[in-house]
Structures are given as structure tokens and as C-alpha cells.
A and B are shown apart, each in its own frame.
Chain A
Amino acid sequence: MAKFTKKKEGDLPAVSTASLPDIVFMLLFFFMTVTTMKDSSLLVENTLPNATEIKKLEKKDRVIYIFVGKPTQEYQKVFGSEPRIQLNDKFANVDEVGSYILAERAKKPQELQNVLTTALKVDKNANMGLITDIKQELRKVNALKVNYTTYEGDAFNNLQ
């Protein structure tokens, strides 16, 4: 008959740490997937409107972004609280939009230059006057494909 040796009392068994790497990898993967690379920091408030009849904006390399909205709190002292245009990392006036588009278009490879889309990321509280001016500028430089970037959701939420 086997003899059971009794362990010393009060001696806690070590918790296995073998699965710790798994947990760490899990966290790593989680953050890798949910974060998106941000290439320009926002200087303007940018609550996009909602819409339902939307299409996905695929192929990020074919998109030029224009941000419009009220300057954020920290910039309001300098730039006021009227909606402004943000191109790359700077505030800009309407007449700079054309040259910005041309400069961005020149940076893209030749074969993509004719298929570029301009994504207008406009705050829902911005006024249409500014947007109309931007659209006029876009027409001048022949950037005719636009995408009014929105969130997916009921458009009636835009009224609040």
C-alpha cells in the first residue's frame, strides 16, 4: 500500500504563469485591431452627421481628406468659434483648398491621380456656405468625386 506523504502545511502551491504570454498576446492583438493609425491630429470639432444610404470608402490611398468644423476649445481663443477648414495639420482658408488638392494629387502615383476621391469630413453643425465654397474650389481643380463622410445611423439624429 502506497504511503501518502503529507506536504508541509501552509505552503501555497505556485500559480502557474505559463498562460501569461497568452494573455499578453491577447491584449496586444486587441489593441492592434481596434486602434487606427491617425495621421493628422484634429484641430476642429468633428461630429459627423448620420446617414443610412452610405457606401464604404475603400482604398485609403485614393482619398484626400478635408476637415471642417469649429476649432477645438484650445484653438478657439486664436481662431474664433466660426467653422474653419483644416488641411493636413493647419487651419486654412477656402482659397487654399485648390492648391492643397493639387499638391496632394501630385504626391500620388500617376495611375491613381485620376481616380482620387475627396472625403469631406464636416461637422454636422457647420454651415453650408463654407461647404458650397469648398465645392466650388474642388470644381475649379477638377476634383469632382466627393464623399460626404458620415456615421452609419438614422439621419433624423442630425436634427439634435
Chain B
Amino acid sequence: MRRTRENPEVHAGSMADIAFLLLIFFLVTTTIQTDVGLDRKLPSDDVINHIDVNERNVLRISLNKNDELFVEDRVLKIDELKQLAVAFLDNGGATENQLRCDYCKGTRDPKSSDNPQTAIISLNSDRDASYGTYVMVQDRLALAYRELRNREAQRLFGQDFTAMEEKFYAAETNEAEKATLKANVERIRDMFPLNISEAELNVQSQKLA
């Protein structure tokens, strides 16, 4: 059979489908830029509050001008910071009843923090330290807090703290659910409050304590 040399017409009816397919593809894969970051609250300037704290309740972290990390005057690698922060916060060294931390799983070293409520991480940075390193330290500390909070949330409510928080902020969660979530989230937050201080601390000497 002899073929005609006639050009067949290009079928364009499905072009729109292809176009929509592409459109949907781009819509799904491109991320519309939203700003993300670490939320922190600065201490108020109005009240000059000298909190007296025990030396054992303070974990001193500092960054020098060469971006080296010092913890209690010893050099530390940044990857080890999270472990150290977790150990410090979770220590629960207090033996008196009202200060005793029931949920802490730390070593209960009397030389380390009493309980997570009183434990303070003091972060100092040299004027020449780079901001990138500072953010990294903040990030590592936040990770330590998240790990502890997640652990307690898992134990008490059977879900991650981050998931609870997410659900609490989500718009589709109804009011009644929000109320219970709020109480639960606050309970976990109170167990491990984010005490990162960048101010100078008045430390009571061990002898007076």
C-alpha cells in the first residue's frame, strides 16, 4: 500500500493538559520563600535583676575570637556540645524534696545542676567571633532542649514535643483540643525551660551556698 506524502495535522488538544501538568509540577516543587529562624527573647532592660545562682547550676560556654568553643574554660568540639548540654540539664543533682527532679535521667552528680529549672546555660561570645558560629551554638543548644522535651513528651503524652507544638499552632486544630494541648505544651516547657543567658551572672561562691 502506498503512503500519501500528506502531513498529518498535529493534534493540539492535549497541549493544555501538558501545560497544566507542568504548571502543577512547578507549583509543587518550588518553595515560596518564607523566612525561618531561631526565636529568642532578650532579657528586659528595665529591671536590673541580679539573680544569685550557684556555680554548679551554670554551664559556661564561650566563643573566642577565633571561633573556638570553650566550655568551663576547656576547649570543646562543637559536635560534643549537644551531649554535654543534655548531660548538664538532665543531671538532677538536688537531693532535697522540693528541688528534686523526678523525671531527670542524668547521673545525679552533686557537682552539676540541681534541676532543669535552675540550670542556666551562660553563653558569651567575643566581639570578633563570627555570627555563623554563634548561630550554630544556639542551634546545638536548642537541639539539646528539644531532645529532652521530646523525651518527656513521649513519656507523658506519647508523642513528640515538636509534633505537639506544631499541632497547637496549626489553624485547623479546634479550640477544645488547643486548650488541652496548651496545658501539655506548657507543662513540658516548664520541665525544661529554655534558660540561655547572655548576660553576666552573679554567681554565689560555693562556700556561701
User: In the bound complex, do residue B131 and residue A19 qualify as a contact, i.e. CB atoms below 8 Å apart?
Assistant: no
Size class of the B contact interface (CB-based, 8 Å): 35 or more
The B interface, classified by DSSP as helix, strand, loop or mixed, is mixed
Determine whether the beta carbon of A26 is less than 8 Å from that of B32. no
Whether the Cβ atoms of A129 and B32 lie closer than 8 Å is no
Q: With A33-B32, A123-B131, A132-B127 in contact, do A138 and B139 touch (Cβ < 8 Å)?
A: no
B45 at the interface (CB under 8 A from A): yes
* Docked complex Cα distance between A119 and B10 (Å): 54
Among B10, B34, B37, B45, which residue has its beta carbon within 8 angstroms of that of A51? B37
A23 CA / B26 CA spacing, docked (Å): 13
Q: Quick check: A26 and B23 within 8 Å, CB to CB?
A: yes
CB <8 Å contact, A149 and B7: no
Q: Which residues of B contact A (CB under 8 A)?
A: 4-10, 12, 15-16, 19-20, 22-23, 26-27, 30, 32-46, 63, 67, 78-79, 125-136, 138-140, 142-143, 146, 198
Q: Which A residues are within 8 Å of any B CB, using their own CB?
A: 6-7, 9, 12-13, 15-19, 22-23, 25-26, 29-30, 33-34, 36, 49-58, 63, 68, 117, 119, 122-129, 131-132, 135, 138-140, 142-152, 155-156, 158-159
